[in-house]
Structure 1
């Protein structure tokens, strides 16, 4: 849109200036509208939040130690128990709140069948938390530092590939 002037000097040329006054008026009107409506948009409900301390509640973790030796003999808290009596022995512990964790330690030569029966009977007694205790083996880095290397890895590294037949 071209604007002309009223003097005769530049009668054929158009002004190339943008009139900023209407744009500033619109901006100010919008600013006033936002200043008025912004406080109305923030709704707040006054509530009283509970106060809590940052100290953790100290609870003694209750555990039941169950050990199985290589012959399949079962010990609950260091007391020998027959497999048939295991459900009755563990049932009173399931009523405790919070429920204790049953920690199973089994010998490496223990048959899996005995371990499966122990887990089944502990579930039947109502215990829901079950854990296994293992002994950590030597780490790979510690074995390499001691100069011990696994023979299977050495033989695999030294073996030459066989040609395909």
Structure 2
């Protein structure tokens, strides 16, 4: 008479049990909070976006217009003093010196433009 070997089935069941023991606490929220209700104003609409591009030679463009660094700082200062400062989208050539990018980011942050995003190409 042939006997059925249940050892592999017990091993699989124990592995599943361990997986459920580990994942069960993650499925429920850890803290149960009764949060207060508040009537808040709606958030302001997204601010305007400044498009700054830097080519491989370090030449800067603001919204497709060539601009030098001092003039760009003046524009960043004016943008930083708006009630809702605009976002800065930075388009930099991959061979642009890091020093140029860091200088621009530092100036933008000092002028009050704190939301900086890097624009990249999607992989082909």
Shorter-chain-normalised TM-score: which range?
A: 0.5 to 0.7
Partner of 1:67: 53
1:113-156: per-residue Cα shift (whole Å, max 9, x none)? Answer: 11111111111222111111111113xxxxxxxxxxxxxxxxxx
Q: Which has the higher contact order (CA 8 A, sep 6+)?
A: 2
Extract unaligned runs of 5+ from structure 1: 1-48, 139-165
| Number of equivalences | 87
Report the CA distance shift for 1:91/1:136 in structure 2 as closer, same or farther (over 3 A): same
Partner of 2:18: none
Partner of 2:113: 127
Shift of 1:79: 1.6
Structure 1 position 111 matched with structure 2 position 97: yes
Asked whether the 8 Å contact 1:68–1:110 carries over to 2, the reply is yes
SS in 2 for 1:99: coil
Extract unaligned runs of 5+ from structure 2: 1-36
Give TM-score scaled by structure 1 length.
0.46
Pair member with larger Rg: 1
Shift of 1:71: 0.6
Report the CA distance shift for 1:60/1:123 in structure 2 as closer, same or farther (over 3 A): closer
Report the CA distance shift for 1:50/1:105 in structure 2 as closer, same or farther (over 3 A): closer
Asked whether the 8 Å contact 1:91–1:125 carries over to 2, the reply is yes
SS in 1 for 2:104: helix
